[in-house]
Amino acid sequence: MEIDEEYKHRVCGRLAELQHHYDYSNYKVAKDVGVAQTTVANIMEAKSMPSIMTLRGMCEMFDRSVCDFFFEIEPDKGRKHVSQKESELLDEFDRLDDSNKDILLKLARSMADAQEKEKKKRTNRK
């Protein structure tokens, strides 16, 4: 299967941006991911696409999931399966720090549990 050149440049370009952001050398990326330095150089210069395993290792180094990585390069495709309200909730959730994310998750779980209990009560009355 032939890789679209524009897509290859978006993938490799984003990896190069992340490498620059974290100030990682090709040597460090290669060593941590377990590939040759020439492999990293070819990816960063968009001469070749990373394998799935190489991409996974790089994403881990850059503190993101592979899913998040692809959402970054194709944001309009990442949330097509969610409603407008769900998308708004995710946007607001992304703005929170970890402590507030934990609080919101606990609140949402508590609300969902209470809703389920109430639903069971109504079902048992019938």
Same domain, yes or no, for 91 and 67? Answer: no
How many angstroms separate the CA atoms of 4 and 91, rounded? Answer: 30
70-72-77 Cα angle (round to 5): 65
Q: How many structural domains comprise the chain?
A: 2
CB proximity list for 35: less than 8 A, separation 6 or greater: 54, 57
What is the pLDDT at residue 123?
83
- Asked whether the predicted pLDDT for residue 97 surpasses 60, the reply is yes
- Mean pLDDT rounded to a whole number for the chain: 88
Same domain, yes or no, for 56 and 101? Answer: no
Same domain, yes or no, for 70 and 42? Answer: yes
How many angstroms separate the CA atoms of 24 and 31, rounded? Answer: 11
Range of the domain at 42: 5-78
CB proximity list for 49: less than 8 A, separation 6 or greater: 3, 8, 11, 12, 43
What is the pLDDT at residue 20?
95
Overall pTM > 0.75: no
What is the pLDDT at residue 80?
54
Same domain, yes or no, for 18 and 50? Answer: yes
- The amino acid that residue 40 corresponds to is V
pLDDT tens by residue, 21-45 = 999 999 999 999 999 999 999 999 9
